[in-house]
Chain A
Amino acid sequence: MNEYADRLVSGLVSLEDDLAREFEMRLADSSALAVRVAFSVVRHREDAEDIAQQALVKAYQQFRRLRERDRFRAWLVRITWRLALDWRRDHQRRALREHAAAALTPPVGNAEVDALQADRASRLWAAIDELPDRLRLVLVLAAIEGHTMTEVAALMRLPEGTVKSRLFEARHRLAERLR
């Protein structure tokens, strides 16, 4: 009886160890993705890291059913996006205005160039903010890490054709706004 219990306990401990190891792999693999998705919404590095951290903690609590890499990343993108939208709703536009230009355009030292780049970034992100969510997330995921259409479709759990048409529409709207 005791031997059986020992084996059971050691089996459970080893299962937990395996889960912890796998989660470490996912953490290394997907941290940047979560931070970038959050940053695309809040445009503030520390806030983006806080949001990504919350998302990863939630992912850890669900990790038993999220052990597949693709499933984990898709879930992480969704939950990070939602948390970031919540954060932005709570902090509204004040923080965005403060952060947007400075965070997205590192200064190059020339005041005139810096001003032009800040203006361009400000217009670009204002246009991105006006896109509906379904187009905005596709655009951000396609821009991040050079994701292919197939990868974006897997991350969003959508058919590839849907992703293509959404990306086409998003880019078209952006180009119109920035012309």
Chain B
Amino acid sequence: MNDERDELLKEIGAALSIEPSPAFAARVRAELTTAPAGLPWGRIAGALAAASLAVVLVSRMGLFEPAAPDRASPAAVPAPAVTAAAPLEIAVPPQARPRPASAEGAARQAPRRAQPRAAVISPDEIDAFWQIVAEVQVEGTPLPPQRWPIDDITGEIAGLPEIAAVHVRPVTIEPLPGAGASVDTSGGLNE
């Protein structure tokens, strides 16, 4: 029985024992010269992962947050001289005020507060960023000089007359006529 089966394998092997034609290897080589090289998907995936990581890190560092008003340099915008005013307090309705949180509530809210804000960056900006980085690394290209609109008008500002201090007189609010008389606001219910 085994001999019979081995004969079968030999028969199949003999039927399949063909050799490629002499021109086969040459045809494969010719095909390889015209076939497009395979994309290095591993490298592409690695580059994308690195770019994603960089974007996440940059967004966590807050570099893409909207710029807050620069409080440290008030001289940038000439402010009129005003008398000191009382701090502005905005009335907040009771239901909008943060409730004193219990321990459980604080635990529930903590992760929500810890979530970073999502940075929305357009693909064009990301491409431009990596293009600049690549050029700086490869070519040694210097970064483009920063040019601000204030540079264009600095000369014009210098020629303007100095702004005089503005004095604001305190406003006195007179009581309304007849405000001293008692006003019945009960709508006659007290009668």
Q: A: which residues have CB within 8 A of B? A: 1, 27-28, 31-32, 35-36, 39-40, 45, 48-49, 52-53, 56-57, 60-62, 64-65, 104-105, 121, 124-125, 128, 139-140, 142-146, 171-172, 174-175, 178
Point out the residues of chain B lying under 8 angstroms from A140, CB to CB: 12, 16
| A32 adjacent to B9 (CB under 8 Å) | no
Q: Are A31 and B12 in contact (CB under 8 A)?
A: no
CB–CB A32/B19 < 8 A: yes
Contact check, A57 vs B4: say whether CB atoms are below 8 A apart.
no
By a CB distance below 8 angstroms, the chain B residues around A104 are 15
Q: Taking chain B's interface residues, is the majority helix, strand, or loop, or is none over half, making it mixed?
A: helix
Q: Would you give the shortest CB distance from A152 to chain B, in whole angstroms? A: 11
21 A-B pairs with C-beta separation under 8 A: A27-B29, A31-B24, A31-B28, A32-B19, A36-B17, A39-B16, A49-B27, A53-B27, A57-B32, A61-B35, A64-B40, A64-B42, A65-B42, A105-B15, A124-B8, A124-B15, A143-B9, A143-B13, A143-B16, A144-B13, A144-B16
Residue contact A57 to B35, C-beta cutoff 8 Å: yes
Q: Is the interface on chain B under 10, 10 to 19, 20 to 34, or 35 or more residues? A: 20 to 34
Beyond A1-B140, A53-B24, whether A124 also contacts B35 by CB under 8 A is no
Does B67 count as interface, using CB distance less than 8 angstroms? Answer: no
Q: Could you say which residues of chain B place their CB within 8 Å of the CB of A52?
A: 20, 24
CB distance from A143 to the nearest CB of B (A): 4
Distance (whole angstroms) from the CB of B142 to the closest CB of chain A: 15
CB-CB nearest 7 A-B residue pairs? A61-B38, A143-B12, A143-B13, A171-B5, A104-B15, A35-B20, A36-B16
Q: Are B31 and A53 neighbours in the complex by a CB distance under 8 Å?
A: yes
Q: Which of B12, B35, B38 lies at the interface centre, i.e. has the most chain A CB atoms within 10 A of its CB? A: B12
Could you tell me if A60 and B35 are in contact, using CB atoms closer than 8 angstroms? yes
- Given A57-B32, A143-B13, are A174 and B21 neighbors across the interface (CB < 8 Å)? no
From 102 to 145 in chain B, residues with beta carbon under 8 angstroms from any chain A beta carbon are 140
CB of A175 within 8 A of CB of B20, answer: no
> Does residue B181 face the partner (Cβ distance < 8 Å to A)?
no
Minimum distance in angstroms from A105 CB to a CB of chain B: 8
List residues of chain A with CB within 8 A of the CB of B21: 45, 49
Q: Does B65 lie at the interface of the complex (its beta carbon under 8 Å from any beta carbon of A)?
A: no
Q: How far is the CA of A39 from the CA of B12 in the complex (A)?
A: 11
Closest to A45 in B: B18
Other than the known A36-B17, A124-B11, A175-B5, what 14 A-B pairs have Cβ atoms closer than 8 Å?
A: A27-B29, A31-B28, A35-B18, A45-B21, A49-B27, A52-B24, A61-B38, A64-B42, A104-B15, A121-B15, A124-B12, A139-B12, A142-B9, A171-B9
